[in-house]
Amino acid sequence: MTATAEPLTGAETLALGRESALWRTTLSRLLRQRSALVGLVLLVFFAFVAVFAPLISGYDPERPLIGIETDVRAVAPPCIHLLGCPADRSEHLMGIDSNVRDVFSRVVWGTRISLTVGFVTVGFAIVIGALIGAVAGYFGGYIDNVLMRLMDILLVFPALILAILIVTVLGRGLTNAMLAIGLVAIPVYARIMRASVLSVKEQDYVTASRALGASAYGILFKRVIPNALTPIVVAGTLGIGGAVLDIAALSFIGLGAQVPTPEWGSMIGLERNRVFAAPHLLFFPGIALTLTVLAFNLVGDGLRDALDPRLSR
């Protein structure tokens, strides 16, 4: 996982040796869990599909096939040569959607969107949330009070409802949907970071830095934050699946990705009235979405268990 490299950045040589050993044991523990391994394999597969989408897809995901191919019909079922589709017709593994586009190509390109969206959204929420939580936890007092009460207010709203309100204000679109889901997730990470910082700042090495005359910000960014990152990395990995899910949900109700973007949630939303006549139009993006979320959740669970052996069972 790329996440393993993160906490190393701020640490110094001595700490570096200790940290990388921790992450190496974590990785080996992670690989020993069957479910996490399944998740990792799925993730690698989807990452592969996302990277090589242009080579795999075969058709433009956004352009109708009219004029490109003869004898295409909207909402046609999958045509697979191996399964008896006549050889003189071109192959469409997942059929044709109601705008005469190749569903397989759209699902393949959708991988790129969903993976990007998941990482970027959670990354945004973690950076802002961690900063707020770290400042609140480290400085305490009224700063802590003000920041955390603000976070509490955000938490009073059910996440998806607040996200819908935010997108309504900002306007529809994938970027705004990502921003909304990211904003809604901030309090969760802020709380985790605050708790983590509260325990780290009592450590002897922090007191030692203070005694040596290091500045408050120097201590916060060089000593406290790097050592308080573990819980938030775990929460972040677990959060990616949820973020992918929520953004797909926003796209499904028309607030996220807009046509003709090949996003799985919006693909399902657009074809939802054809669920009985042409279920394949909903089925394939639905499966892809579920498997992606599952992969992130399995890896997140595995990472948590690997980092905190008390929890693993």
**196-215 positions binding other proteins, by CB under 8 A:** none
Displacement of CA 147 from its chain's centroid (Å): 25
**242-261 positions binding other proteins, by CB under 8 A:** 245, 248-249, 252-253
Contact predicate 293/143, CB 8 Å: no
**111-150 positions binding other proteins, by CB under 8 A:** 149
CB of 243 to other proteins, least distance (A): 12
Displacement of CA 10 from its chain's centroid (Å): 24
Among 83, 169, 211, 212, binds other proteins (CB under 8 A): 169
Q: Cα–Cα distances in Å, from 166 out to 35, 115, 123, 178?
A: 36, 22, 19, 11
Contact between 175 and other proteins per CB under 8 A = no
Nearer to other proteins, 73 or 272 (CB): 272
Nearer to other proteins, 19 or 97 (CB): 97
> How far is Cα 35 from Cα 272, in angstroms, rounded to an integer?
32
Contact between 293 and other proteins per CB under 8 A = yes
Among 282, 299, 303, 307, binds other proteins (CB under 8 A): 282
Contact between 156 and other proteins per CB under 8 A = yes
> How far is Cα 146 from Cα 139, in angstroms, rounded to an integer?
12
- Residue 150's DSSP bridge partners are none
Q: How many residues in the shown chain lie near other proteins by CB under 8 A?
A: 42
- Residue 79's DSSP bridge partners are 92
Residue 130 phi, psi dihedral angles, 5° rounding: -65, -40
Among 165, 208, 216, 259, binds other proteins (CB under 8 A): 165
| Residues across the chain | 313
**22-41 positions binding other proteins, by CB under 8 A:** 35
Question: How many CA within 13 A on the CB side of residue 115?
Answer: 21
Contact between 298 and other proteins per CB under 8 A = yes
Helix and strand totals (H; E) in the chain? 13, 0
Among 158, 208, 216, 218, binds other proteins (CB under 8 A): 158
Residue 263 phi, psi dihedral angles, 5° rounding: -105, 140
Contact between 164 and other proteins per CB under 8 A = yes
CB neighbours (10 Å) of residue 88?
6
Contact set with other proteins (CB under 8 A):
35, 149, 152-153, 156-161, 164-166, 168-169, 171, 241, 245, 248-249, 252-253, 265, 268-269, 272, 275-276, 279, 282-283, 286, 289-291, 293-294, 297-298, 301, 311, 313
